[in-house]
Structure 1
Amino acid sequence: MSSFFYNNKFILQFVFWIFPLAVLPNECLAELNDLINYEDIYGNEQTIKPASNESDNEVDESTDISKELSRSENLSYPLFLGLCCGKCGGNMPLNIFGAGTPEPHEFRIKMNLNWGKMVGMRRGTSNRSTKDTLGQYMMTPRKMDMYMSSVSVGYAFSDRFFVGIMGMYMEKDMEMIRRGGRRSSMNSQGIGDTMLMTKTLLYADDYLIPASQVSLLLGVSIPTGSINQDDKGQILPYSMQLGSGTFDPFIGVLYEGSSSPLWWGANASYLARAYENYKSYNLGDEYRLDLYGMYQVRHNLVGELQIKGKYAGDIEGEAREIEQDGDGHMKMMGVPTAAFMSNLYDPDNYGGSTIDLTTGVQWQPFHNHILNAQFTVPLFQNLHGTQLERDFTASVTYYIEVPLRKSRRSKKSGRGLDILGF
């Protein structure tokens, strides 16, 4: 029984997170039906009762919501406002920095489960056999599985300013092979680094439902992840550690555009490793460029496609245990030599350029809730030195927006914007 829970921990975590949705109030379904009726009919009219200081009599005035949204009367396609709020243009892949920005005075909660697999060796852009790698090193990795769970919480203070924080837990399992064919394994698990981020709106053609907007992302990665992971007293390689050991600032620019039923955007970001950690090394700087396009199929379903580029620099310096104590080095007569035991301990075997293709689908099971499933495969890998090559990454994200009393969408405010679907 214990082995069942261990081998299926990824699925069990997802069930544990999503189970509370089974007891959501019926009100969620009622709101979703309102949205369906609006988007299918287009002609819903809302009755408003303006206040009058001259008379106690109330006058009914019919207002056409479609005209308020400046919608063309003769569309050859459905008018969609997106699954999430207008502050992210209605639709956006949830794996991008700054994705999912709610209306002012609203919280958003984002929960993610991620599984990545790496199989086989690569040097530069060419595959490298295990036999060839073992000719240079005494042992080398065969494959690696990485599981990551993250929870992020954010709050929008105004139309222009949003703050979010993300914590994560990760587990890394690596299978090794030695000369002679004997196999072994490495494992590390624990809390990863914590991300603190702000998003500032620089430009939007409309505050309520923007069709074009540009935002500035600023943040810092806080070193809450361990860099002391070891196996029987010997330090584990850099790739098996859980954090960077440094405060790492990042900056990004995000563009989002839309013309129903299409959404698109681009995100460019830079993460700086500005100094050495207390073990005398620092990971490489990271540059990212993400391009995405999305198509809304119906009121509660969106397809997405992403091209994601990344460049990571080499590791600078060397961990004290490796440089001074001889961990990760081959030994002769008990004395460490200059040769590394595995490519994983050589800081020159880290970093490189990658281009990935991500496909995904977003589904809205309830109002203000989004379920996002994504699958990523590499299109191009140019790795520094000899490294494991990435095979695929699969992820599931659940996103919730929580309007507070001061929100435009709060029912208690009496403003009634929930029917618009954002």
Structure 2
Amino acid sequence: MNRFGKLFPCLPPLALAIGSMPALSHDSTLPVYLPESHAPAGIMADHLHRQGEWMLGYRYMRETFSGLYSGSQKTSTAAAGHAGYAMVPTDMTMEMHMLDIMYAVSDSLTLMFMPQTMSMDMTMAMTGTGHDHTGGMDAMNAMGGMNHDMTMHASHSHGTSGTGDTVFAGLFRLADTGNYKLHGTLGVSAPTGDVNLKNADGTYVHYGMQLGSGTWDLMPSLTYTGGHERLSWGAQTSARLPLQDENDSGFSFGERYGATAWSAYRLADWVSVSARLGYTKQHDINGHYNGPHNHASPSDLQGNYGGEFVDAALGANLVPQSGPFAGVRLGVEWTSSVSAHYNGYQLGRDDGLNMSLSYAL
């Protein structure tokens, strides 16, 4: 299996299903669903619906991380050890599965409900020179169940999975002319994801491997879209703002701000291709775990979270215009890091994949 197939194992069957459909042509009895009428798969809250219309959708996101970075430079396990860390992450995979349910109260107001599940798996290695920021080896032994007779280059893997946070939002139209559309979104993320996950010894897992934020978060965004003939474009600014100083475990994730712009071109009535550029600024963690926790690795310390990131993405939207799958929308988008500046020591951002599947009725 190639690199693309490994990143997105569910893509080949979907592609086969799309490819086996009969040739598409206009049917005067069916509406025409232009593929570029939705943004690329990595963009949420990008469109409104007609009054009384429902949309049922599913979203999948996969991100991979590898290599240790400090600031904008790749660094080494030994350097992290000399900085005082007994263990460092070597790679990580994060997956999200989300339902995307929308209902249009009117032509100018669409409601959105998005529950999700999360899973994260991380591999860590001992540096051989660190002192776990506590002056001893206790945290190192607790995290991996290791003893002093084991090699100083041992590694272990661990993971978390379960229900994530749930988003409720309203999308309201601000402008709709023949050339462009503008709408705002006011969303709230409810803290349904667990932030009390612990290791086998009773210490908290890394901050970034909890399943939610643990706080009520405000999620506003502003989205602009336009187009001419086969060409379309759009832009969105967004934020995630914690409404509480700390969660039940004693901390809160930092504010996050984002901006992205894209353009798409319709190759045929049923398919469009897109290119997108995105910017994200994420603050580090506020507060501190209020129970036993380790200080052995960068992932255990609040200052090693957040940064500034620029990503690029290539994607495609597919919408059959006739036949049994008419109106079913499939979006696929591959993402890659262009530049990054990490706070402290962190795993580097590798490639990622976004997928969306939806149907309006």
Could you tell me which of 226, 235, 248 is aligned with 1:257? 226
CA distance in 1, matches of 2:47, 2:326: 15
* 1:225 match: 193
Matched, 1:164 2:116: no
SS of corresponding position for 2:41: coil
CA 1:113–1:345: 2 relative to 1, 3 Å: same
Pairs within 5 Å for 1:22-41? 33-35=25-27
Matched, 1:288 2:283: no
CA 1:372–1:250: 2 relative to 1, 3 Å: same
Amino acid at match of 1:343: P
CA 1:359–1:35: 2 relative to 1, 3 Å: farther
Residue 302 of structure 1 and its aligned partner are, at CA, apart by 0.2
SS of corresponding position for 2:299: helix
Matched, 1:267 2:236: yes
Question: Contact (CA 8 Å) 1:92, 1:263: kept in 2 or not?
Answer: no
Question: Contact (CA 8 Å) 2:90, 2:123: kept in 1 or not?
Answer: yes
* 2:183 match: 215
* 2:143 match: none
CA distance in 1, matches of 2:263, 2:165: 30
* 1:69 match: none
SS of corresponding position for 1:230: coil
Q: Deviations over 1:105-142 (max 9, x none)?
A: 11112212221100001111111112211222010100
**Max radius of gyration: which structure?**
1
Amino acid at match of 2:62: W
Residue 38 of structure 1 and its aligned partner are, at CA, apart by 11
CA distance in 2, matches of 1:105, 1:37: 20
Task: Identify, as 1 or 2, the structure richer in helix.
Answer: 1
RMSD: 2.7
Question: Contact (CA 8 Å) 1:343, 1:386: kept in 2 or not?
Answer: yes
Could you tell me which of 286, 309, 312 is aligned with 1:354? 309
Could you tell me which of 198, 201, 211 is aligned with 2:170? 198
CA distance in 2, matches of 1:38, 1:163: 25
* 1:82 match: 34
Q: Deviations over 1:166-193 (max 9, x none)?
A: 1111110000001211011121000110
* 1:376 match: 335
Question: Contact (CA 8 Å) 1:251, 1:270: kept in 2 or not?
Answer: yes
Amino acid at match of 2:59: N
TM-score, with normalisation over the residues of structure 2? 0.83
Q: Deviations over 1:271-304 (max 9, x none)?
A: 1113211222110001010101000011111001
Could you tell me which of 122, 125, 143 is aligned with 2:69? 122
Question: Contact (CA 8 Å) 1:101, 1:108: kept in 2 or not?
Answer: no
* 1:112 match: 59
SS of corresponding position for 2:80: helix
Matched, 1:367 2:326: yes
Question: Contact (CA 8 Å) 1:14, 1:113: kept in 2 or not?
Answer: no
* 2:289 match: 319
CA 1:34–1:14: 2 relative to 1, 3 Å: same
* 2:146 match: none
* 1:418 match: none
Q: Deviations over 1:83-108 (max 9, x none)?
A: 27xxxxx2422322322433221111
CA distance in 1, matches of 2:9, 2:334: 16
TM-score, with normalisation over the residues of structure 1? 0.71
CA distance in 2, matches of 1:350, 1:125: 14
Pairs within 5 Å for 1:333-412? 340-365=295-320, 366-402=325-361
Matched, 1:310 2:310: no
* 2:154 match: 182
* 2:96 match: 148
Residue 10 of structure 1 and its aligned partner are, at CA, apart by 7.1
5+ unaligned residues in a row in structure 2: which ranges? 1-5, 129-151
Larger mean CA deviation between 126-135 and 169-178 belongs to 126-135
Amino acid at match of 1:304: S
CA distance in 1, matches of 2:224, 2:232: 11
Q: Deviations over 1:136-169 (max 9, x none)?
A: 2010100001111111100112111000011111
Question: Contact (CA 8 Å) 2:33, 2:319: kept in 1 or not?
Answer: no
Q: Deviations over 1:349-388 (max 9, x none)?
A: 1111001001001111332111111100000101111111
CA distance in 2, matches of 1:193, 1:389: 24
Matched, 1:299 2:291: no
* 1:72 match: none
SS of corresponding position for 2:303: helix
* 1:333 match: none
Amino acid at match of 1:83: P
Residue 36 of structure 1 and its aligned partner are, at CA, apart by 9.2
CA distance in 2, matches of 1:273, 1:107: 30
CA distance in 2, matches of 1:128, 1:385: 11
5+ unaligned residues in a row in structure 1: which ranges? 1-7, 23-27, 40-79, 85-89, 329-339, 403-422
Amino acid at match of 1:280: G
CA distance in 1, matches of 2:121, 2:59: 19
CA distance in 2, matches of 1:279, 1:395: 31
